[in-house]
Amino acid sequence: MKIVSVHEGTVPISSSIRNAWIDFSAMDCSIVAVVSDVIRDGRPVVGYGFNSNGRYSAGDILRRRVIPRLLDAPADAVVTDDGSNIDPIRAWDFMMRNEKPGGHGERSVAVGVVDMALFDLAAKIAGQPLYRFLSDRYGDGEPDDSVFVYAAGGYYAPGKGLRELQDEMKGFLDLGYRVVKMKIGGASLKEDLERIEAVLEVLGGDGSRLAVDVNGRFDLTTALEYGRAIEPYGLFWYEEVGDPLDYALNATLSEHYRGPIATGENLFSLPDARNLVRYAGMRPDRDFIQVDPALSYGLTEYLRIQDMLRQHGWSSRRCVPHGGHQFSLHIAAALKLGGNESYPGEFQPTGGFADDAVVRDSQVGLTDTPGIGFEGKAAFYQVLRELHD
């Protein structure tokens, strides 16, 4: 068994929306197809990956460093002991050969793309949906049947007023979501409070069903000011309030803001996640860690992060990955995480779950399609197939 070829490309996820920090008008992401020599139904078994949303494509790193190392690895060095399947964790070691520690940015994105494709490939070769494949090997063998998901939206956009924001949130509720998330920090405090209250009106005044996301925009003074203003609402969480590496800001905020804080989507490695729980004042009884496996050197590194969190007294249920995609959905079910983000209407064609996925009471089930199940997301699967067909 061996990897025959690896194909890399870029797909746009352009949009007119913006958060408090960036707009998505020129955003794209990397996609990868890993072709094996295993033949099923007359065709080679292929694993697919992409790098989640919010980070640009990492094609140069993929082409110059990550993919050549994988293809140069001895065939028997990246398979299981019995040679019956690809071993993504062994392959990861080759992709990271000759890389210095630190600098967890676009490199972690590039490795994460291929790591996702390798896990998709391994689960397909095993004939299992990824969540069962992972649960059998890295979990307790009894994955969750469904996963909590919340609908992320509420972006700033041209011509989007309070009524349009309310209509968007009503649409999420109609789709079966009970918890929704909106952006703040891209307007004045007064305007953002009006926006929050407009959404709360749609939610019947229940703040526990609304999360707000700052996307790392605030300094400490602003973080505390907003915290004092929104704490009475009893929100689901207050997310990514300051710079992701400003652990002191987060620690000070946690001393003053009693509600749940969520962060970690812009931390891309085990050392960064360890520093978060050591120095950022994160509280295991109420806060959430949002590391996105696709952006963080892949599931291989995410498994190490989960081991570290357990050692520091954190439950896997306090982890809700960023990204809103199928890969994290499988991981959430397999490792019994607290849930997964969902983007019902944004970041296409990559974002979202299978075309026939149904959300009921903010829960979504898993399919029995082998691998991640990109084949059940027709528009995206067509793009992926074009990489290698």
One-letter amino acid for residue 351 of the chain:
G
- Measure the CA–CA gap between 265 and 269, rounded to whole angstroms: 11
Find the angle CA(304)-CA(50)-CA(21) to the nearest 5 degrees: 85
| Residue carrying structure tokens 């997310």 | 239
Amino acid in the structure at residue 312: H
Q: E-assigned strands of the chain?
A: 3-12, 28-40, 43-50, 146-152, 180-183, 210-213, 237-239, 261-263, 288-289, 340-342, 359-360, 363-365
What is the 8-class DSSP label of residue 156?
Answer: B
- C-beta separation of 372 from 120 below 8 A: yes
> SS3 of 303, please?
helix
CA 185 – CA 195 distance, rounded (Å): 11
Buried b (16+ CB within 10 A) or exposed e, 163-177: eebeebbeebbeebb
Angle between helices 220-230 and 247-256 (to 10 degrees): 30
Using DSSP's 3-state secondary structure scheme, residue 284 falls into coil
Q: How far apart are CA 155 and CA 18, in angstroms?
A: 6
Q: Which amino acid, one-letter code, is at 354?
A: A
Helix (H, G, I), strand (E, B) or coil at 198: helix
The three-class DSSP label of residue 255 is helix
AA letter at 328: S
Q: What is the helix (H) or strand (E) element at residue 31, kind and residue range?
A: strand 28-40
- Provide the residue type at 341 as one letter: E
- CB of 278 closer than 8 Å to CB of 251: no
In this structure, the number of other CB atoms found within 10 A of the CB of residue 226 comes to 23
**Residues designated catalytic:** 183, 322
The two tokens of residue 265 are: 């989507």
Widest Cα–Cα separation across the chain: 63
Cα 153 from Cα 165, distance rounded (Å): 9
Q: What is the DSSP letter of 360?
A: E
